[in-house]
Each structure stands twice: as structure tokens, then as C-alpha cells.
Chains A and B, each alone.
Chain A
Amino acid sequence: MPHSSVPEPHLALPGGNGWAGLKACLPIMIGYFPVAVTFGVAGLSTGLSPVQVVLISVLVYAGASQFLLLASIKAGTPWLWVVALCSLLNARHLLYGPLLSRFLPERLGTRLRLAFLLTDEVFATALNRIGPVSPEHRNRWMTLLGLGAWLTWIAGTAVGVYAGDGLEHHFPMLSQVMRFALPALFLALVCQSVTRPLRGAIIAALLVGAACSALGHTTLAILAAAVVGCVTHRLQSA
């Protein structure tokens, strides 16, 4: 694991430690729900039917790509462009599989099934927390982590489609507070990743990522931070 602060053992939980995947998913669920509600509301406003909006969340299941699709519908962008942009947005996912590979069951079918559920948040949580889970429970742990996030995303979209306007109107502050869960989740995971050998690499990655993000290039920020982090680590190790 990339960090030394080992998360608490899950062995005491009923039903074996695989069930802890659902517990680990809780911060993701809190963070996903309001964003998905927003997607549901925004989807309806572009003229799509409720079923179409929910099906996008079921099939695509990638927040940035989904909002890109809505923006493209509004702007009338050619769909080939939309698909090309989606590919660029998702390029970072290519790095997630190899990093998680050593923790997952060897069976290819299982890995390909889990791959559908591998969002940024699921990857980040798994990378930090699956290490202490015993190998025989990792399949269930990852499945529950991923399914919890996916079903929350779908449920949030459905709520947004059918009741989003009312929710935003009656509980605007609750929605705002819940949205804070995603920034908090990533910050917590980064803090837990910091070890003495990796401190310089992580600080360099944060600085470069922050600079790119501040300029509005969030996808570039992720890739640039990854490259700079690796280069810094190599220079420090040399």
C-alpha cells in the first residue's frame, strides 16, 4: 500500500470483512447523491425524458462525461466530437486498473465485472483501504464498494429527475453541505497517502495539479500531477 497509516482492521464486522466494503463506500454515497440529483435536474432541463436521463447514469456512469453530454446537447455539438472528448476525459482510468490489479482476484471475469464500477472515487478508496482486507474477501469488498456507489448514483439521478426541484427548493443548505463530502473524501485519502518517502512527490503533484485546475484544466491537472509526482519521486530516489 502507498501509505503507512493502516486503516482499521475490518475483521470484527459481522459476516466477514468483505462487508466492510459497504462501510468504506459511505463517504462516496454521501458525496455522490447530491451531484447525481444535480445531474437529474440538469438532464431534464436539456429536454431529455426522465427515462433517458436515468439510463445515462445506468450505462455511462461517469460524472464528468455525463455533464459533458448534457452541455453538448445544449450546444448542439456533433456526437463524434462528444465521444472524442469523452475518451480524453476518461484516459486517466487507464492507470487505475494496473494499480489495483495486485489487490484483486486473479480471475479475469471478476476483474472485468469490477472494472465497470471503477470510478475515481471507488479507485481512490480501494487503493487506500483494500490492503488490510483478506484476499478471500476482496471480491465481495470491491463489489459492495462499487455497487454502493453505482446504485447511489442511479438513485440520486432518479430523485433529481422526479423530485430534484422540490428538494433544492426546500433543503438548499443540506444539498450544499452534502456536496462537500467529495472534496473532503479526496483530501482525506491524500492525507492518508503521505509517507516520508512520498511526501515530496505528493506535494509536487498537489502544486502542479492545483495550478492546472486553477486555470480550468482539471483533466490535465490529474495527468500532470501523476507525471510530476513520479518524476519527483525518481529524482529524490536517485
Chain B
Amino acid sequence: MIGSQLDFWVAVIAMAVITYLTRALPFLLSSRSRWLRRLTEGSSLAALGPALLAGIATAVIMPDVMALSGASQIVPYAGGLLATALSARRLGNAGVAVIVGVVVYGGLLLVVGR
């Protein structure tokens, strides 16, 4: 169990090392690696980056969506996402789209969420 100070620090250091290794090990792959070449060329793995982004997006958004209840929560969240998506497509700038989405979400929370 993570009870003693020593156990706690062993767990923290182990988690830090594992987290770093999962991020760093792929860089140790040779640039001539077949897998790496397939990722950078137009194979079926060319969709991996966008598909990963889509997966992360659902993992972040869906738990929020499942926790929403009532129009006072659903309308601001849906409105914020819609504003973000439209801004991202129209303006082509993710940073501005996020700021627009946050402002719309906050505004709708104030109006609908009262």
C-alpha cells in the first residue's frame, strides 16, 4: 500500500520515469525504422495523427457531456462547442477558436445558467 513515505516516493519516481520513457523511447528509434517511415509517408498510418486527436477529443469531451443535466448546463456546453468548431473552420486558428468558445460558453452560462 502507498502508506509509508518511502513507498510514496518510490511510486512517484516510478511513475515519473515510466511517463518520461513512454514519451522519450520512440525518439530512440532509428530514423530508418520501417515503422517510422510508414508513419511519415502516405500509408494507412497517415490517418494516425488525426485519429489520435479525435480519440483524445472524445475522451475529454464525453465525460463532460455525460455529466450534463438540464438545459442550463447542456445549452452553454453545446453552444460553446459549436462556436469553437465554427471558429476553427472559418478562422483556421485553434487559439482564437478556443477563446471564442470559452467566451460563448461563459456568456451562455451567465444567460441560461442563472
Contact = CB atoms under 8 A, between A and B. Distances in A.
Interface of A: 2-3, 5-8, 23-24, 26-27, 30-31, 48, 52, 55-56, 59-62, 65, 69, 72-73, 76-79, 82-83, 86-87, 90-99, 101-102, 104, 106, 108, 111-112, 115-116, 118, 120, 124-125, 127-129, 173, 176-178, 180-194, 198, 201-202, 205-206, 208-210, 212-214, 216, 218-219, 221-234, 237
B102 interface: yes
Contacts of A205: 47, 50-51, 54-55
Interface residues of B, number: 73
B44 A231 contact: yes
Consensus secondary structure, chain B interface: helix
Given A52-B8, A77-B2, A124-B56, A228 B23 contact: no
B92 interface: yes
Contact of B12 (A69, A101, A129): A69
A101 B37 CA distance: 10
A78 B51 CA distance: 34
B106 A177 contact: yes
23 contacts: A5-B89, A7-B93, A8-B93, A69-B15, A77-B2, A79-B1, A86-B14, A93-B22, A93-B23, A99-B49, A101-B39, A177-B106, A183-B61, A184-B105, A189-B88, A190-B57, A191-B85, A192-B88, A202-B50, A209-B54, A213-B58, A221-B59, A237-B44
A27 B26 contact: no
A91 B61 contact: no
Given A26-B95, A187-B88, A225 B27 contact: no
